[in-house]
Amino acid sequence: MRPFYVTTPIYYVNDAPHIGHAYTTIAADTLARWHRMNGRPTFFLTGTDEHGQKVQRAAEKLGRTPQEHADLTHTRYKALWERLDIRYDDFIRTTEPRHVQFVQAQLQKLHDQGELYQAPYSGWYSTSAERFWSDEEVAKATGALLKREVTEKDLHKPLDQGGVAGVCPDSGAPVEWLTEHNWFFRMSAYQDRLITHITENPACIQPDSRRNEVLGYLRKPLGDLCMSRPKARLAWGIPLPFSPEYVTYVWFDALSNYVSALQEPASRLAFWPEALHLVGKDILTFHTVYWFTMLMAEGITPPKQVYAHGWWLMHKVKMSKSLGNVIRPDPLIDAFGADVVRYFLLRDVPFGGDGEFSYESFLLRYNSDLANDLGNLGHRSLSMAAQWLGGRVPDVGPATDADRELATVAARATAEFRAQMDNVQFKAAIEGLWELVRAGNKYVDSEAPWSLNKRRVTDAAAGERLATVLRNSMEVVRIAISHLACICPGKSVEMLDRLGLSAPDLTPTLDRLVAGHDLRVGDPLFPRIAELPESLMPADPIVPAAPVAPAATPAEPVPALPQIEYGDFAKLQLRTGLVLTAEKHPKADRLLVLSVDIGEEKPRQIVAGIAAVYDPAELVGKTIIVVANLKPAKLRGIESQGMLLAAGGADIASILTPYRPVPAGSIVK
């Protein structure tokens, strides 16, 4: 049987994991589990990207070495994957010797082949994206931000002469003009070959819209890729073996993980021809233009497929740390469990498209699909068998038309699930399977086992029919939960155990349970939840407030606020600050201790009474507004070197954040 190799992107250690990271990783884990269940040799790789300027700067601000910083922060991903029941075969870090050695060997090979050359270069550099941008790209992004046309000339004029400060097309953060010597990869030499490869292998980029996007990108001449950074500017990277005063461009380093992880043992190399890279659509070009041409130059066949999925949105806006609308998985896991989080993320959106997240839709999907449909079918089938049939799997009697129709639905639904899983379409797979779940509930309702139970005292045929109906309904549960084992592994094990099975059984026929085997009812597998836990509500800082009803009687007049002079206000110095770390105060439940970069040499320590509203993990990476010239004060024994701004009065509702990304330390007026 052909092997199967699935990867996630390697995640950047400066990011705290959110549902976007979880989405890709759950999808990869689900595919790996599915192929393993079907007996296919499978290898699942994930990991962390640990080099680059952002890591170096963050480490410097915290007084750590970059390696110490990476050693501490990469564990956030491992911890979340454990909570989400992710079972990867390997977790690679780009600082590991095995990866560094592979990258340097490939670089030396490319250099010896003449694929790399040195030349001066000028361009707009974005630290946030760690890449250069062209005049055209920066002008377009800046114009979109300012909602007016911005020309390339505008970018190069001094600001006091009508010039415009350019922004990064990816992040919206400021860019700077740099001129330096660097090493370049002759990527342009592979443009025609790349177009031919994509055209002749249309499935290598999916969905089709993403393949067309890449081919559209390739209509313009493809330039060469700047693949180095001077150590004088960036020391934290893999040194070029032939020019040690330079380090490797982070993407040239990171993409190689997909092959470096297969080098040892050598038997792993057998997985490469079947490689499937799951990525977000924002890194599609890196994975299909940069990566494919790099591999071609190295003499390695490109991966079988790159599948680019969409973004999770909130209120039709892409989730962003700067907007404060990023959803962290941990509170959802705490409230619903890992299996429900896995189910929702794969069930609600066609893989490849954007999805709108809301806690309300999460709860609705949970109650509708898992509690009312599958959970209800399982619980009532087992409960009736326990009450009326001695708590054992019953024998099955002669089949009726209703039984045969249920068997037909089972065969059709499972075939659809299999086809859609092989097509990497999780939503469609689940929808196909749910035809069987709904048919199972309809079957129970129409066959009315409660009526059969009343009649069986005087009618032996009713007793035999009761046994058949409950046996068939439990077979439906067995089929459904076995197929869902790749998506909801924990709940699957639990339900299969109640049915007397030790492993999933994907056979679609209604005859696999062992007659006479003990059943176990237990509590409902997915108990209905009437309303969202309160713990989830503060995690959505941009949910519109409910309208306030007009007062029945005239309100008391609001006292006039005392007025101040501008000089009074000018005494305040407000700055933007980037939250680097956050943790609970050891002596006060309502206080959090933050380390905040406000553009100074060292980060500020700020103690804030927001623990009732914010979990420390969701604050890391958020941009806040800080009163920078407030006299330091100790709060329960820990010094606070400033104050953050928040709305809501005594009952804080939300901290204040900038509408658009701005650098740490920006003055707020």
331-360 per-position pLDDT tens digit: 999 999 999 999 999 999 999 999 999 999
Residue 594 parent element (H or E) = strand 592-597
Q: Taking the CA atoms of 48, 52, 53 and 57 in sequence, report the sign of the dihedral they define.
A: positive
Torsion, CA 585, CA 591, CA 594, CA 600, rounded to 10: -120
Strand, coil or helix: 224: coil
Contacts for 448-454: CB closer than 8 Å, 24+ residues apart: 449/384, 449/388, 450/384, 453/384, 453/388
Question: Is the pLDDT assigned to residue 546 strictly greater than 70?
Answer: no
Report the alpha-carbon distance of residue 18 to residue 21 in Å, rounded: 6
Give Cβ neighbours of residue 48 (< 8 Å, ≥ 6 apart): 10, 11, 12, 13, 70, 74, 77, 91, 92, 93, 94
> Tokens 């933050």 map to which residue?
594
* DSSP calls for 16-72: PP-HHHHHHHHHHHHHHHHHHHTT--EEEEEEEE--SHHHHHHHHHTT--HHHHHHH
Q: Of 330, 357, 333, which is closest to residue 617 (Cα–Cα)?
A: 330
Distance (Å) of CA 564 to CA 575, 602, 643? 21, 33, 21
May I ask the CATH class of domain 4-95+254-338? Answer: alpha beta
**Residue 630, φ and ψ in degrees, nearest 5:** -80, 135
Token pair listed for 58: 């963050």
Cis, peptide link before residue 41, omega less than 30° from 0: no
277 burial type by CB count under 10 A (0-12 exposed, 13-18 middle, 19+ buried): buried
With contact defined as beta carbons under 8 Å apart, do 627 and 572 qualify? Answer: yes
With contact defined as beta carbons under 8 Å apart, do 58 and 595 qualify? Answer: no
List the Cα angle 177/181/184 in 5-degree steps. 100
353-397 per-position pLDDT tens digit: 999 999 999 999 999 999 999 999 999 999 999 999 999 999 999
* DSSP calls for 391-447: TBPPP-----HHHHHHHHHHHHHHHHHHHHHHTT-HHHHHHHHHHHHHHHHHHHHHH
CATH of domain 566-668: 2.40.50.140
Report the alpha-carbon distance of residue 588 to residue 119 in Å, rounded: 57
245-267 per-position pLDDT tens digit: 999 999 999 999 999 999 999 99
Distance (Å) of CA 288 to CA 224, 283, 417? 15, 9, 29
End-to-end Cα separation, the chain, in angstroms: 65
Report the alpha-carbon distance of residue 657 to residue 661 in Å, rounded: 9
pLDDT band at residue 669 using 50, 70 and 90 as cut-offs: confident
Q: Of 305, 206, 281, which is closest to residue 4 (Cα–Cα)?
A: 305
Question: Is the pLDDT assigned to residue 151 strictly greater than 50?
Answer: yes
Decide which of 334 and 556 is more confident.
Answer: 334
103-131 per-position pLDDT tens digit: 999 999 999 999 999 999 888 988 777 77
Token pair listed for 632: 């330091």
The radius of gyration computed from the CA coordinates of the chain, to the nearest angstrom, equals: 29
Share of the chain above pLDDT 70, in %: 92
Q: What integer best gives the mean pLDDT of the chain?
A: 90
22-49 per-position pLDDT tens digit: 999 999 999 999 999 999 999 999 999 9
Average pLDDT (164-172) is 87
Decide which of 618 and 305 is more confident.
Answer: 305
Decide which of 608 and 288 is more confident.
Answer: 288
Least confident stretch, 24-38, 133-147, 191-205, 384-398: 133-147
- Across 249-342, the runs of DSSP E, i.e. the strands, are 275-280, 305-309, 312-314, 317-318
Q: Residue 262 is which amino acid?
A: L
Provide the H-helix boundaries in 531-586.
Answer: 566-570
Distance (Å) of CA 555 to CA 123, 463, 546, 547, 558? 60, 70, 19, 17, 8
Report the alpha-carbon distance of residue 603 to residue 605 in Å, rounded: 7
| Residue spans in the chain of domains classed CATH 2.170.220.10 | 110-229
pLDDT band at residue 577 using 50, 70 and 90 as cut-offs: confident
Report the alpha-carbon distance of residue 342 to residue 430 in Å, rounded: 12
Token pair listed for 366: 């949970």
Q: pTM for the whole thing?
A: 0.79
Residue 647 parent element (H or E) = strand 646-647
Give Cβ neighbours of residue 163 (< 8 Å, ≥ 6 apart): 154, 155, 156, 157
Provide the H-helix boundaries in 307-358.
Answer: 329-336, 338-347
Q: Provide the β-strand partners of residue 355.
A: 312
| Residue spans in the chain of domains classed CATH 3.40.50.620 | 4-95+254-338
Q: Check if CATH label 1.10.730.10 holds for domain 355-498.
A: yes
Torsion, CA 351, CA 356, CA 357, CA 358, rounded to 10: -140
Least confident stretch, 138-152, 334-348, 447-461, 553-567: 553-567
Decide which of 64 and 129 is more confident.
Answer: 64
Report the alpha-carbon distance of residue 475 to residue 379 in Å, rounded: 13
Strand, coil or helix: 338: helix
| Fold assignment, 110-229 | Methionyl-trna Synthetase; domain 2 (2.170.220)
Distance (Å) of CA 440 to CA 2, 373, 377, 451, 471? 35, 9, 7, 17, 11
pLDDT band at residue 648 using 50, 70 and 90 as cut-offs: low
Report the alpha-carbon distance of residue 644 to residue 579 in Å, rounded: 11
pLDDT band at residue 653 using 50, 70 and 90 as cut-offs: low
Question: Is the pLDDT assigned to residue 620 strictly greater than 90?
Answer: no
Pairing of strands 305-309, 312-314: unpaired
Contacts for 103-107: CB closer than 8 Å, 24+ residues apart: 103/238, 103/248, 103/252, 103/253, 103/256, 103/260, 104/238, 104/239, 104/240, 104/241, 106/256, 106/298, 107/240, 107/241, 107/242, 107/248, 107/252
Report the alpha-carbon distance of residue 540 to residue 289 in Å, rounded: 36
pLDDT band at residue 237 using 50, 70 and 90 as cut-offs: very high
Decide which of 142 and 669 is more confident.
Answer: 142
286-308 per-position pLDDT tens digit: 999 999 999 999 999 999 999 99
pLDDT band at residue 178 using 50, 70 and 90 as cut-offs: confident
Average pLDDT (195-216) is 97
Q: Of 401, 398, 428, which is closest to residue 416 (Cα–Cα)?
A: 428
Q: Of 288, 474, 290, which is closest to residue 378 (Cα–Cα)?
A: 474
pLDDT band at residue 465 using 50, 70 and 90 as cut-offs: very high
Strand, coil or helix: 359: helix
Q: What is the pLDDT of residue 550?
A: 36
Q: Of 581, 603, 576, which is closest to residue 594 (Cα–Cα)?
A: 581
Average pLDDT (56-61) is 91
408-459 per-position pLDDT tens digit: 999 999 999 999 999 999 999 999 999 999 999 999 999 999 999 999 999 9
